[in-house]
Amino acid sequence: MSAVRIARVDPGALDVAIHLAAVEDAAMGAVATFIGTVRDHDPEATSSVVALEYSAHPDAERALRHIVDAAVGEREALVAVSHRVGRLSVGEPAVVIAVATPHRAEAFDICR
């Protein structure tokens, strides 16, 4: 059983708990998560970063689902992934990924 439970581009705040709940399953023995946040520096910037502005192509959710399907392949996994759009301040989550699999190696690999 493999399923993409969430694959969305979202203008609202990303909730890690929603992603964890989406991949909850008694048959899965491992859950890996990744939270990518806005950081306060960029080596190419001339000053400190205070915010980032994200936009997305209209087909971004379809592309995100395709990326997840390719990462999972034939493995058994449940995946929830969201990427923010709009203005994000330093420290705000820009990407949240939760992956549940029967064993941890697959969960980490797919999450990466």
In tens, the pLDDT along 46-89 reads 888 999 999 999 999 999 999 999 999 999 999 999 999 999 99
Predicted confidence (pLDDT) at residue 40 exceeds the cutoff of 80 = yes
Cβ neighbors of 75 (< 8 A, separation 6 or more) are 2, 101, 106, 110
For the entire predicted model, the pTM comes to: 0.93
Residue-level pLDDT at 39 = 93
72, 67, 81: which is closest to 7 by C-alpha? 81
Average pLDDT, the chain: 95
The pLDDT-based confidence of 97 (bands split at 50, 70, 90) is very high
The pLDDT-based confidence of 1 (bands split at 50, 70, 90) is low
Task: For each of the domains in the chain, give its residue range(s) and CATH number, in order of start.
Answer: 2-111 (3.90.1170.40)
Contact between 78 and 89 (Cβ < 8 Å): no
Among all chains, which residue has been given the structure tokens 């190696």?
A: 105
In tens, the pLDDT along 3-32 reads 999 999 999 999 999 999 999 999 999 999
Contact between 93 and 29 (Cβ < 8 Å): no
Cβ neighbors of 44 (< 8 A, separation 6 or more) are none
